[in-house]
Amino acid sequence: MATPKAVVVEDDQDLQHLYRLKLEHEGFIVFAASNGVEGLKVVKETQPDIILLDLMMPVMNGTEMLAAMRAEPWGSNARVIILTNISRDEAPQALRFLHVDRYIVKAHHTPAQVITIVHEVLGIQPT
C-alpha cells in the first residue's frame, strides 16, 4: 500500500490534533476538518484511505456529512470510523442506513486503541 491517507473530521481542536499526531506517527498523511462542510471538501479532494468522523459538530454534523458523501460516487465506498461520545443506542437513526466500518465511543477507547482499530480496518500492520 502506498502511504496511507487519513482525514480527521473533529470539531474539538485538541482531539483533532491528538489523532492527527498519532496517525502521522504511524506514517499516515493526515488532513483535518472541523465540521461536515469542511470534511466533505477535504475528503473529496484527498480521497483518503480512512476517515475518522465525529458526529456532533457545528455547521454540518457527521451524519449529514456521511449521507452526502455516500450519495457521491467518490464517497460511496469510503472507509469510515465514527469516533464520537454518543452511545450507539443514542446515535441518529439515519446512521443505521449509512455504512460505517466501526463505531467507536471516544470515552471508551484510548487514542492508541483507535489507531489499532484504524490498522485493523485497513488491514495494515502498525509501524
Question: CATH number, domain at 37?
Answer: 3.40.50.2300
Helices vs. strands in the chain: H and E counts, helices first: 4, 5
**Does 110 or 86 have the greater pLDDT score?**
110
Residue 127 lies in a domain: no
State yes or no: pLDDT of 39 exceeds 70: yes
Residue 24 lies in a domain: yes
The CA distance from 27 to 54, in Å, is 22
Residue 46 lies in a domain: yes
Residue 33 lies in a domain: yes
Residue 88 lies in a domain: yes
The CA distance from 50 to 89, in Å, is 24
Residue 42: band (very low, low, confident or very high) from pLDDT cuts 50, 70, 90:
very high
The CA distance from 120 to 99, in Å, is 17
Q: What is the number of structural domains in the chain?
A: 1
**Does 92 or 48 have the greater pLDDT score?**
48
State yes or no: pLDDT of 48 exceeds 70: yes
The CA distance from 68 to 56, in Å, is 16
The boundaries of the domain holding residue 18 are 5-122
Over residues 60-68, mean pLDDT = 90
pLDDT at site 57: 86
pLDDT at site 91: 63
Over residues 31-43, mean pLDDT = 95
Residue 72 lies in a domain: yes
The CA distance from 42 to 16, in Å, is 14
